[in-house]
Structure 1
């Protein structure tokens, strides 16, 4: 199982930009009522490397910038809204999650999926509960513990209407009833809580420095405090993960 340390060091902030996937170029209204995700697309794609991003609650950026790049981070135990528009009301929507099999690298990705009712709703509340999700018919040999470890590899969601595509004698891509989310990884809740507590403490230290009126010293002190917080997070998590590995071994 891969270490969560690099991930934890990235859990320092979320961004709050105005990017909205339901009205951005991803779901261009000029192209007609297109079947597309209206969530799980966290950054617009302008092609110039400066893509505005918005990460909702409990979704974190793997890098401390306001622009697209690394995959996002989700947390086991939380619920997320998967939403879409443009679905044909006569067919269900299929939601599929795939991520790499880190144990057997040459094998296919493991997967979880869900089919909505007819007519399909416009959203689904997706709760990341490994015990309820694994094993399943698409991943019969994947235990819930193994799923939590493997899901630290980059995966994504795909929404589609395969029954409509079959009725058209076409693939879901040819039928225009397929969309894929931005990439993300999934970590355990205690990791996110620990990192978030570190962020809160750093923010409080920053506010305290402002109240003290240290002036230009803040500009030098805050980056140092952030670096110290990240270092402290790394050291404590290394100890925790080291002990966990000894227990598992």
Structure 2
């Protein structure tokens, strides 16, 4: 038997699978997804062009933006108090629909316009609150008055506006800034002493509440020269403070819009 060494056996080389080929094999899915997205955008554009032919350019813009950005463009106002029958309306509806349609003939006075608009706003936007007596519009020989229960605007013993109050005052400001008039914002409380380390008395509370309303209305576009806050504490009650129901009615903020012409509230009051 020969002792010569045997030649080494060669191993068969196994071809390696390229990872780059595996990754590149599915790249068509990205191209296909891009194609479907563009195709969808194309059909949306065709649909939008049909809207444009009817003069609806805004809907055209929102349709195209929605395809590429997927961002919600409309925000509904915060519901206040009891639910109102029907769909809630955007605040912009007051400016674009109710106000232009309600503009009366030249013979009607500015004060009648303001009263009519405020009454329509309350009826259309805050029907439930009006039914509960939480908000009211009235008219006298010298003033148009918008009365708001303090519970709509503030927390108990507080003077900072709630989110619901801001939504309500935004709607009111849309009317007031269109027809500049002298506006006195009256703060009223009940006769119970305040229980707070931040407040000295009901005079303090009523003044701060009326000032908070003025600040918000000015921020929303009302001329600051035409508006002023007044705090009456519990000295101007609507009813007697004999029980909780009466005290609740007396806790209120009243916007009084003057029917007299004036350039600013200072001249109106002191000259």
TM-score above 0.5, yes or no: no
Say which structure, 1 or 2, has more relative contact order (CA 8 Å, 6+ apart): 1
Query: TM-score w.r.t. structure 1 length?
Result: 0.29
Which protein shows a greater Rg? 2
